[in-house]
Structures are given as structure tokens and as C-alpha cells.
Amino acid sequence: NVSLDALLEKAEEWLPLYVGKTITAAELKKIDMTAVLWAQLSYEQQQAVERLAPSHIVVPTGSH
């Protein structure tokens, strides 16, 4: 579950991985939330996301 409520509930687990002991507004703005969300997924869930919603695709015109 990567809902806002779930992330806030688990903040004590994941937040220290991204900031120091003293948390400033500037530090919070620097957090890569994509990485935070990705880390909440199991390996199987990550693979499913990659398969179902790849970051790049090849289209007939050759663009990605």
C-alpha cells in the first residue's frame, strides 16, 4: 500500500533513509519520492510495474 496514509504511517521506517537526524524543509524537498514509492514495492510488484508500464517503448516511427 503506497497511499499517502500508509506512507505517513510508515514514515519512521523510510524517512531516516533519506534525511539526517534533523529534518528541514529543504531536506524534505530533496527527497526523491519516486524512489521512496519504488522501495515500498516488493520485487514482484516492481517487475509487474516494469512490464505493464515501461518507462520507454519503441513505436513504429522509432521514437521512444
Tens digits of residue pLDDT in 27-46 = 888 888 898 889 889 999 99
In a domain, 44, yes or no: yes
CA distance 55 to 49: 9
Percent of the chain with pLDDT over 70: 97
In a domain, 45, yes or no: yes
Amino acid (one-letter) located at 9: E
pTM of the model: 0.64
Number of helices followed by number of strands (H, E) in the chain: 5, 0
Residue 64 has pLDDT above 70, yes or no: no
CA distance 18 to 37: 12
Q: How many domains does the chain have?
A: 1
- Cβ–Cβ under 8 Å, residues 20 and 27: yes
In a domain, 62, yes or no: no
The domain in which residue 20 lies consists of: 4-52
